[in-house]
Amino acid sequence: MSEKQVSASVIRRLPRYYRFLGMLAENGVHRISSGELSSKMGLTASQIRQDLNCFGGFGQQGYGYNVEALWEEIGKILGLGLPKKTILVGAGNLGRAILTHMEFAEKGFSIVGIFDRDERFTGEVLEGIPIRHTDALEEFCQKEKPSVAILCVPKMASRDLVRRLVDLGIKGFWNFSHYDIGVYYPDVAVENVHLGDSLMTLCYEMQALENKNSK
């Protein structure tokens, strides 16, 4: 089955598989069955087999899955071994927190530039990288040719900024801005991050738990 035919829900579970298998490998686990993996991940064994079969047959009947080999294969499927020059646009509190706490390098993302429109930040150094004013985007991108942008700016500031970045060759956005990039630029990859949505999901789950316990 080609990757284009794989459902979005399956793709969104791949990072969880990668993370769990990585932890198992670190703990010295060499092989695992779909049933054992399901008990650790909160999925059914059938779901795990269906998900992995979308990308080929990784398991062996009577043996299960080779943990390290499956971890490596899922990493390849996710494209983690491919280097991606990345810029951060928006060096406020959110941008700084993301830059400080995310392990970009091990996932193939190399942060090569940081930009902000606030002149007070210009020249400040974060994680060894000087902050440049967004006026310098064109010159920088033409020279360094980044392919990914982490967008940590307000929605109202995003429209013109995204247009500039797409024109400069950005092919992927990790988008915290709430601007619907994919609607206007269908030929770029976009992963939207809405922290408020996650918080509302937590509200629903807490309410559902309370309703269940009250019966």
Q: What is the mean pLDDT of each run of 10 residues along the chain (215 residues)?
A: 70 93 94 90 90 80 84 92 94 95 92 97 95 97 97 94 97 95 95 91 92 82
Say what the pTM is: 0.86
Q: For residue 74, what pLDDT is reported?
A: 94
Q: For residue 172, what pLDDT is reported?
A: 97
Q: What is the 3-state secondary structure (H, E, C) of the chain?
A: CCHHHCCHHHHHHHHHHHHHHHHHHHCCCCEECHHHHHHHHCCCHHHHHHHHHCCCCCCECCCEEEHHHHHHHHHHHHCCCCCEEEEEECCCHHHHHHHHHCCCHHHCEEEEEEEECCHHHCCCEECCEEEEEHHHHHHHHHHHCCCEEEECCCHHHHHHHHHHHHHCCCCEEEECCCCCHHHHCCCCEEEECCHHHHHHHHHHHHHHHHHHHCC
Q: For residue 139, what pLDDT is reported?
A: 97
Instruction: Kindly list the structural domains of the chain, giving each domain's residue range(s) and its CATH number in brackets, ordered by start.
Output: 3-77 (1.10.10.10), 84-196 (3.40.50.720)
